[in-house]
Amino acid sequence: MENREFFKKPLHVFLLAMLCCTLWGSAAPFIKWGYKLFNIEGVPSILMFAGIRFTLAGFLVILFGSFLQKKVLVAKKENIQGICTLALFQTAGQYFFYYIGLSHTSGVNGSIISGTSAFISLLVASLIFHYEKITARKALGCFIGFLGILFMNISGASASFSFVGEGFVLMSQFCGSI
């Protein structure tokens, strides 16, 4: 079966979406577990943990992509600037704030706040980059979504808010959206 046919089947799309949501939703608790497992405390150790994780993930992506393409994947010279910009915001910025923020909040709160990424991405795309037109329905949807996340955070495991904890996790979502 060709890839395009695979993704046209609603069951396949649903199952893959559920897998991705499960993996992303489990990231915060597993990172917190990793902190305990490896006795990670302090910013340098947290950043080393994140760096090792992303270096290994990068190698796996290149390996898997090379396997699928049946050739070794190498970045083209004209793509290096875009790759570096993406790496600055989506890897360095996003995960700097995420890993440090997660060390100062619960895994539950970190996962809940990570849910803001879709709303923030819509706002960044429309208000900063002008890729998307914001409509009343989209604005209302973002407002209701933010209220839902705020409600979940207030009624969740911890009803507190700290800038270095929940604030950093929220800032990580802004970096990821940019």
Does residue 12 sit within a domain? no
Query: Is residue 46 assigned to a domain?
Result: no
b/e sequence 19-57, b meaning 16+ C-beta within 10 Å: eeeeeeeeebeebbeebeeeebeeeeebbebbeeeeeee
pLDDT given for residue 87 in this prediction: 86
Please tell me the predicted confidence (pLDDT) of residue 21. Answer: 80
pLDDT for 71: 93
- What is the count of structural domains for the chain? 1
Eight-state DSSP code of residue 91: I
Reduced to 3 states (helix: H, G, I; strand: E, B; else coil), residue 130 is coil
Q: Is 107 part of any domain?
A: yes
Q: Is residue 153 part of a domain?
A: yes
**80 lies in which domain range?**
75-177
Query: Is 163 contained in some domain?
Result: yes
pLDDT at residue 70 in the model: 92
pLDDT of res. 156: 54
Q: Could you tell me if residue 21 is inside a domain?
A: no
Rounded Cα–Cα distance for residues 138 and 19 (Å): 26
Closest by CA position to 153, among listed 82, 75, 101? 101
| Tally of CB atoms within 10 A around 108 | 16
Residue 123 is assigned to a structural domain of this protein: yes
In a domain, 170, yes or no: yes
Rounded to two decimals, the pTM is 0.69
Could you say which residues of the chain have pLDDT below 70?
Answer: 1-3, 153, 155-160
pLDDT at 15: 92
